[in-house]
Amino acid sequence: MTTTPDLATLTGEYTIDPAHTTIGFTARHAMVTNVKGKFLDFSGTLHLDGTDPAKSTATLDVTMDSIDTGSPDRDGHLKSSDFFKTDEFPKMTFRSTSAESLGGDDYRVTGDLTILGTTRPISIDLEFNGAAKDPFGNERVGFEGKAEIKRSEWGLTWNAALETGGVLVSDKIKLNFDISAIKQA
């Protein structure tokens, strides 16, 4: 496996590989610790333009019932009407609206994130981790990314007050992405 230094050779259509990708999040719990979770069922595509990164695009569709925080009770609560209302809103989607190079291996993708039927813009900072041909002959690219959102901006407002002050679940949610995508022939 060798890293490809010339981004122009990477131009093309890619499919996100769910077996080697993590779509995760972190929320502050009870003001003292972080709870991490991820989604297990998702699909997405990338159009990479190595010559003009501004022409690159990304899509992501996440099945909300696939949420996994390591606690079945908590996952059930997150799927309920208090949070994601997965019966009514089974998907979370992202559609990019712009992309830009920040220099070096750093990029920013801005787009529309839809949760609970509410669409709002977010920006995701990404680091290009490299490109390689895997042992099966697939051309792969990798990106690592992060973003922060306020869940209340999407109508996710359930909470509980703590005796010691503060709230059970933070409004600020950290999103993290570890993406492996396979170039389409």
Q: What is the DSSP string of 79-106?
A: HSTTTT-TTT--EEEEEEEEEEEEETTE
Q: Give me the pLDDT at residue 126, please.
A: 95
Q: Flag the least confident range among 52-66, 91-105, 116-130, 146-160.
A: 146-160
Mean pLDDT (the chain) is 88
Q: Give me the pLDDT at residue 7, please.
A: 73
| Dist. CA 96–CA 57, nearest whole Å | 6
Say if residues 64 and 79 touch (Cβ distance below 8 Å). Answer: yes
Tokens of 175: 């999103």
| pLDDT higher than 90, residue 43 | yes
| pLDDT higher than 90, residue 161 | no
Identify the CA nearest to 129 among candidates 91, 63, 178, 65: 178
| Dist. CA 73–CA 137, nearest whole Å | 42
Q: Give me the pLDDT at residue 46, please.
A: 95
| Dist. CA 92–CA 86, nearest whole Å | 10
Question: In sequence order, which residues have a C-beta less than 8 Å from that of residue 163 and are 6 or more positions away?
Answer: none
Backbone angles phi, psi at 5, to 5 degrees: -80, -25
End-to-end CA distance of the chain: 18
Label residue 1 by pLDDT band (50, 70, 90).
very low
Three-state secondary-structure class, residue 24: strand
For 117-154, what is each residue's pLDDT tens digit? 999 999 999 999 999 998 999 999 999 999 999 988 88
Alpha-carbon radius of gyration of the chain: 18
DSSP 82: T
Pairing status of strand 33-39 against strand 22-29: antiparallel
